[in-house]
Amino acid sequence: MTSKLLIATHNKNKFEEISMFFVGLSMEIISLNDLGINTTVDETGNTFAENAALKANAYSKESGLLTLADDSGLEVSALGGEPGIYSARYAGENASDEDRTALLLTKLKHIPSNLRVCRFRCELAVSLPSGLVNGFTGECQGRVTLKPLGINGFGYDPVFLIPELGKTMAQLSSEQKNVISHRGKACLNARASFLEGNNKEGLYD
């Protein structure tokens, strides 16, 4: 396998969440910050998968390394799939997680709990400087709560209820979240691909 795997995000929380899935592999896990890469990639795709591939390809070419990038977000049925691919920019480019959550709850204020059906979606893309290697998907079904609950996690976790558990993502431990989350499922699929030697033409060597 390649000696390094770049997790292409500037978000510290996301880097920590993703990188823990690849601990124990015969590669060093590094971040954009470790390499001093401060550039951002315009997410001009129309889907999570397209944006993940754009980021993976761009950062792989810039770093010269095998690179994993994700694009993920929340899709709310009552809002026609919003915020979707705009989840991170829902309340503006410089908005906080709290700002985005507040906007979402405002838009849903007249929607009853049973109609607040939603899902978290995650698409991971793995790329070499020569081009895209593979893609992995994960999703988690839930409902949007009436107010934020819990202090763990980040993003929309405090308002994402897992009905069968009766808890939001932000009320779960990291270990619990990783088993059921959209990002956890996608990362586990990617890890399995590495472990199974899914390296056509020596792509991971």
The residues, any chain, with a CB within 8 Å of residue 31's CB and separated by 6 or more, are: 6, 7, 9, 15, 19
Q: Quick one: pLDDT at residue 125?
A: 96
Q: Quick one: pLDDT at residue 197?
A: 63
71 is catalytic: yes
CATH class of 4-202: alpha beta
Question: How many residues would you count in the chain?
Answer: 205
Q: Quick one: pLDDT at residue 13?
A: 86
Give the start-to-end residue ranges of the domains of the chain. Answer: 4-202
Q: Quick one: pLDDT at residue 1?
A: 43
From 70, 71, 99, 157, the catalytic residue: 71
The pLDDT tens digits along the chain (205 residues) read 458 999 999 888 889 989 999 988 888 999 999 999 999 999 999 999 999 999 999 999 999 999 999 999 999 999 999 999 999 999 998 899 999 999 999 999 999 999 999 999 999 999 999 988 899 999 999 999 999 999 998 999 999 999 999 999 999 998 899 889 999 999 999 999 887 765 544 444 4
As a whole number of angstroms, the distance between CA 196 and CA 163 comes to: 34
